[in-house]
Amino acid sequence: MKTEYFKGLSRAQLYWAAAGLLVVTVLVVLGILFGRGGEAPGAEELAITADMTIGEIAPKLDVTGKSMAKELGLPLDAPKNVPVGELGVTEETLNKMVNHLVGHRESNVKYYLYGAVVLWGWLFLVKLGRPKNAPLKKRKIWYPRIFYVVTMVFSAVFLGFLLEKSPNPMEGGVKLFKTMVGLYPDTMVRIAAFLFFVALAVVGNKIVCGWACPFGSLQELIYSLPLFKKLKKKSVPFIVTNTIRGVLFVVMLLLLFGIVGGKKGYVLYHALNPFNLFNFDFELPSILITTVAALVIGAVMYRPYCRIICPFGLISWFAEYVSLYRVRIDKEACTKRGACITVCPSGTAKARVYGKKVVPDCFSCARCLNVCPEGALDYGCALLKPKAGGKKKAA
């Protein structure tokens, strides 16, 4: 990395960097100290057998009877006071169910790490990316991409493979709706988790998706490879990707609440969940197909899973309209040369430059922030007027 970037940082920016890194470190330490759970017990340690009823087993696993019935392949209204063996459940099936539920318990340390990564992303985009002492003619050193790439690697490795799939933004949204049909006992916990991820999407325009989501990070890294450059110039219209994403979300709700199919509890996204990659758990062929397809297509299309399937991607897209910090355009300085439009992988820049009311997802990737020859773009508070700091058009 060029040392020019560091030389261009002002004293105030260095103070921001030191304070930010201190807070990030504190969050990581707190997560390690207070967020780690004990080793997950198995069926034998929990003394669970097929002679027990759903009503006896569910509390041991900290799940609802409906959730347990669903995992066993029984109707959600299966009797709770009859031994599961008499309901046709074998010891092997029961043990598999117990191991599955216990193995998918959430690691609370990840909430601290999500907060730390989002804070770091916000700090970089708002305070550190554009060195105060680096003028417009040196804009190429603004927002060094290496910081973003390293964060992507961290998110994929630590928030994904090392700490496994749960919690994650996608499931944070889905589990809230699952609670409504009785698949989770802790309604307030699910509401809090959902609001946590939404807040991280609002504090900085979709930063939790763009910087912290482990599967989003994998897609970002794959797309960043210098391959298929001509194909990357072509794009699927936002109206197509967002319509598919919206239809899937509605279908999920119709199936989950039994409005379609007549049976509550079916979660469409279980069959389309690429986060299972981080547990190497491909219980359904569709999960493996979805995961592989997203990563392969991701070499030519920017974040296909996020933009076409992910329910939280849809939710956070709505949240973008009230995000506190985002990419801003100084209309007085902008000459619409299109440099930002060329580098933007999601079509967001074009919609913003031309003042469209419906704007595609912006993942706060910072690609556009150092290419404008007028310096008309920055990342700042949506409630304040942009301060481009570049050249102004002649009157």
Q: Which of 33-37, 65-69, 363-367 has the lowest mean pLDDT?
A: 33-37
Rounded Cα distance, 107 and 262, in Å: 34
- 112 near 35, Cβ under 8 Å? yes
Three-state SS for 131?
Answer: coil
Residue 40 has pLDDT above 80, yes or no: no
Buried-state track 314-339, b at ≥16 Cβ within 10 A, e below 16: bbbbebbeebebbbbbbeebbeeeeb
Q: Containing H/E element for 255?
A: helix 238-256
Exposure string of 281-311, with b = 16+ CB inside 10 Å and e = fewer, is bbeeeebeebbeebbebbbbbbbbbbbbbbb
pLDDT-derived band at 183, boundaries 50, 70, 90: confident
Tell me how far apart the 2 most distant CA atoms of the chain are, in Å.
Answer: 84
The pLDDT tens digits for 47-90 are 788 888 988 888 878 788 888 888 888 888 888 898 989 889 89
Bridge-partner residues for 329, per DSSP? Answer: 377
Average pLDDT, the chain: 90
Tell me what the mean pLDDT of segment 201-205 comes to: 95
pLDDT tens for 278-290 read: 988 888 999 999 9
Instruction: Return the closest-CA partner of residue 125 out of 299, 325, 260.
Output: 325
Q: Are 221 and 156 in contact (CB under 8 A)?
A: yes
Q: In this prediction, what percent of the chain has a pLDDT beyond 90?
A: 68
Residues 319 and 197: beta-carbon distance below 8 Å: no
Q: Where are the domains of the chain?
A: 4-35+107-319, 54-103
